[in-house]
Chains A and B, each alone.
Chain A
Amino acid sequence: EDQVTQSPEALRLQEGESSSLNCSYTVSGLRGLFWYRQDPGKGPEFLFTLYSAGEEKEKERLKATLTKKESFLHITAPKPEDSATYLCAAPTQGGSEKLVFGKGTKLTVNP
């Protein structure tokens, strides 16, 4: 069964305190790993797509990396506005058009 597992469930940081979120997957024949940001009361917003091990993508204070078994979302010197739930997702196997989502990591950055 295709699975995407995120850890930790919740993370509290002080402003400027760097950390990483983890996303591990058990989808065979991975055809991409996707990161989304979700603010309270809103729909998820696409951040990054990673296609192959070793690939990295950056956006402001966020950097996503991919290995053969997991992905990391590194947050460097976070600010309170980075507070959100971060979701990762992977396409289900078999060439389908469906994504399976992890349950998310709720990040809180205190000023």
Chain B
Amino acid sequence: NAGVTQTPKFQVLKTGQSMTLQCAQDMNHNSMYWYRQDPGMGLRLIYYSASEGTTDKGEVPNGYNVSRLNKREFSLRLESAAPSQTSVYFCASTRDGRSYEQYFGPGTRLTVT
């Protein structure tokens, strides 16, 4: 099992460009999450999906959109990147919302210039 995979690992964007971060899990988990991690701020939830076809906002959703393509895949899209979105992005999954034992991917390091 690969667990949670994320692509790409690194990305540099110019202000205003768009991109999609991909996440997939092979553990048959129902819930999936997108976080950003910034120095001094800790992990902050952007969006999450409790099941296929459902998504909900987290603490910092502005500037992002998500798609739960199927049970395995959960993508995060930046429509018009801003320097404030420079961060490390983590995808996570868990069996269901009540287990809370989240499995994290390796992260995507995004720089917006």
Contact = CB atoms under 8 A, between A and B. Distances in A.
Interface of A: 31-32, 34, 41-46, 49, 87, 89, 91, 96-99, 101-104
Given A97-B31, A97-B48, A44 B101 contact: no
A89 B19 CA distance: 30
A34 B101 CA distance: 8
Given A42-B107, A49-B101, A97-B50, 19 more contacts: A34-B100, A34-B101, A41-B107, A42-B106, A43-B90, A43-B104, A43-B105, A43-B107, A46-B101, A49-B100, A87-B42, A89-B43, A89-B100, A96-B97, A97-B96, A97-B97, A98-B45, A98-B48, A104-B42
A45 to B, nearest CB: 7
Given A42-B106, A44-B104, A103 B58 contact: no
B71 to A, nearest CB: 16
A98 B50 contact: no
Interface string B89-113: 0101000111011111111000000
B53 interface: no
Interface string B13-45: 000000000000000000100000000111111
What band does the interface of chain B fall in when counting residues whose beta carbon is under 8 Å from A? 20 to 34
14 contacts: A31-B100, A41-B107, A43-B4, A43-B92, A43-B105, A43-B106, A89-B43, A89-B100, A97-B48, A97-B96, A97-B97, A98-B48, A101-B43, A103-B41
Interface of B: 4, 31, 40-45, 48, 50, 58, 90, 92, 96-98, 100-107
A32 B107 contact: no
Nearest to A101: B43
A2 to B, nearest CB: 10
Top-9 shortest CB links A-B: A97-B97, A43-B104, A103-B42, A101-B43, A44-B104, A101-B42, A46-B101, A43-B90, A43-B105
A46 B102 contact: yes
Nearest to A34: B100
A32 B100 contact: yes
